[in-house]
Structure 1
Amino acid sequence: MTAYDRPGGERLVLGVPRAAFRPSPVFVALVALFVTTGVLAWNGSGNVRLSVFGFVVSGWLVSLCLHEYAHAIVAFRAGDRGVAHRGYLTLNPLRYSHPLLSIALPVLVVLLGGIGLPGGAVWVDRHLIPGRLRHTLVSLAGPATNVLFTLVLVLALRVGTGAGGSVEFWAGLALLAFLQLTASVLNLLPVPGLDGGNMIQPWLNPQWRRMYDLFAPYGFILLFALLWNPRINGWFFDVVFTAGDVLGLPAWLYGTGLDLVRFWRG
């Protein structure tokens, strides 16, 4: 990015104050919680189930922040400077357009269903972004972070398992990897209003685009309706489990992690 000083001495990046890019205390606190609970889970200190719960939930929230940040930073580079003024580049989840849909609901689904639910959180002014490819890249940026997280976590499991730490720690890490894998698949589904659908929307002809825009506000409802269907739900998890097996993600380990985070079951 091009940085320069304006007359008052304030440092700017593409006309935006550098403070707009500074990680928020909320995000820093989430990272600190993720590291702290990870250390506790690694050592098996205290209530290990509670530590794994904090480790997985805070890790998932950190990934959500980075997912939305990826959308915002690509949109910023593509021409929408408003994402900086709306606070999306500070990684503060409280700045999201729909905190309930983007934070509370995904965490609830993670705990109850073991699925990394995507969330629509940052609002991008598409009129300020020229070119269909740029629009697609803005939508792709979020799922790409989930894919990257999946690969990094699986690599950590394959390299680090057996090098120390408690089984509970590795189970929590495996669950995080599984959640990232489910989020990767869900985010790439061509559902109107979700990232996968938004990736193809700019390439549709005007008639199909009007139909897409009609259904886009109901993307979450469509997603839940699809996953509620037993056959589609089975196809979805077949894809996820197959991908997990190809990557070498142990099913028993992330299954153990899911049991651990549901600490209220005793």
Structure 2
Amino acid sequence: MLDLFSPERLQQYAILAPGLLVALVCHEVAHGYVAYLLGDPTAKSQGRLSLNPMKHLDPLGTLAFFFVHFGWAKPVPVNSGYFKNPRQGMLLTAIAGPMTNFILAAAFATVIHILMTVEFSPGGLAEKIILPTYLIAQAGVFVNLILGIFNLLPIPPLDGSNVVAYFLPPQMAESYMALGRYGFIILIGIILLGRFSGYSLVGGVILPMVYAGIRLLGIPM
């Protein structure tokens, strides 16, 4: 337990936390804001359109950050009954989160490209500012790509499931989305199966796409 708060770990948290916090908060706000634009006031009425992290942090997701260097926020409530076209509304609301993460990844990448053009003397004040900022931006790219790609997996209740549901016949889509109550159990099962089979969902599917995104953004990792 003490190792969780060693100087090395605290340094890792300081580098990862800004990008992860921005990724999680903006992801959820994007869902709520698009739903609000489409007529659903639920997130706004519950104060979830705020960029205040305390409105979005999930206790278990926050705790997970210290153990696995990743976490999650409380999902923004969405009521599709307010949408003129519920299926289309859920599609647009769902993709808003991952798309926001990809935009944030590009923004962090832009910061990296700018910092790479700055000349500084080793050991000077500029290096003490530029190097931490570079590492935080680098982590921001990585975290936002992972979160965006992970949420596009077609496993209810992840955002990708709403994309799939939009293209299914209504009755089939309803049955498919009903699997959302078992979604996280399915994810845990896939992860555990990967440990026994040697196939990793993260390593085999998500990370190759993340590294492809990193190459596309043209930044060193």
CA contact (8 A) 1:147 1:184 kept: yes
1:125 to 56, 79, 93: 79
In the TM superposition, residue 219 of structure 1 has moved relative to its aligned partner by: 2.4
CA contact (8 A) 1:226 1:233 kept: no
Q: Using the alignment, how far apart are the partners of 1:165 and 1:208 within structure 2?
A: 57
In the TM superposition, residue 81 of structure 1 has moved relative to its aligned partner by: 1.5
Partner SS, residue 89 of structure 1: coil
Q: Using the alignment, how far apart are the partners of 1:218 and 1:161 within structure 2?
A: 45
In the TM superposition, residue 225 of structure 1 has moved relative to its aligned partner by: 3.2
1:88 to 29, 48, 52: 48
Q: Using the alignment, how far apart are the partners of 1:224 and 1:150 within structure 2?
A: 27
Distance 1:50 1:151, change over 3 A: same
Q: Counterpart in 1 of 2:218?
A: 248
Aligned length: 199
Q: Which residues in structure 2 correspond to 1:21-40 (within 5 Å)? A: none
Q: Which residues in structure 2 correspond to 1:252-263 (within 5 Å)? A: none
Q: Counterpart in 2 of 1:254?
A: none
Q: Counterpart in 2 of 1:258?
A: none
**TM-score, length-scaled by structure 1:** 0.65
In the TM superposition, residue 60 of structure 1 has moved relative to its aligned partner by: 1.8
Paired-residue identity, %: 28
Q: Using the alignment, how far apart are the partners of 1:100 and 1:219 within structure 2?
A: 20
- The one-letter code matched in structure 2 to 1:80 is D
CA contact (8 A) 2:19 2:144 kept: no
Q: Using the alignment, how far apart are the partners of 1:212 and 1:183 within structure 2?
A: 22
- The one-letter code matched in structure 1 to 2:21 is L
Q: Counterpart in 2 of 1:56?
A: 16
Distance 1:233 1:61, change over 3 A: closer
The answer to whether structure 1 residue 79 and structure 2 residue 39 are counterparts is yes
In the TM superposition, residue 206 of structure 1 has moved relative to its aligned partner by: 3.2
Greater shift after overlay, 47-56 or 173-182? 47-56
Gaps of 5+ in 2: 1-6, 119-125
Q: Counterpart in 2 of 1:238?
A: 208
Q: Counterpart in 2 of 1:170?
A: 134
In the TM superposition, residue 52 of structure 1 has moved relative to its aligned partner by: 5.9
Greater shift after overlay, 227-236 or 195-204? 227-236
CA contact (8 A) 1:118 1:183 kept: no
In the TM superposition, residue 223 of structure 1 has moved relative to its aligned partner by: 2.8
- The one-letter code matched in structure 1 to 2:127 is G
Root-mean-square deviation (CA), in Å? 2.7
Distance 1:157 1:227, change over 3 A: farther
**TM-score, length-scaled by structure 2:** 0.76
Q: Using the alignment, how far apart are the partners of 1:52 and 1:200 within structure 2?
A: 36
The answer to whether structure 1 residue 141 and structure 2 residue 96 are counterparts is yes
Q: Counterpart in 2 of 1:23?
A: none
Distance 1:58 1:152, change over 3 A: closer
Q: Using the alignment, how far apart are the partners of 2:189 and 2:216 within structure 1?
A: 28
Q: Counterpart in 1 of 2:110?
A: 155
Q: Using the alignment, how far apart are the partners of 1:95 and 1:169 within structure 2?
A: 26
2:173 to 196, 209, 213: 209
Gaps of 5+ in 1: 1-46, 252-266
- The one-letter code matched in structure 1 to 2:98 is P
Q: Using the alignment, how far apart are the partners of 2:106 and 2:19 within structure 1?
A: 15
Q: Using the alignment, how far apart are the partners of 2:182 and 2:12 within structure 1?
A: 34
1:104 to 62, 82, 104: 62
In the TM superposition, residue 135 of structure 1 has moved relative to its aligned partner by: 1.8
CA contact (8 A) 1:93 1:99 kept: no
Q: Using the alignment, how far apart are the partners of 2:38 and 2:90 within structure 1?
A: 8
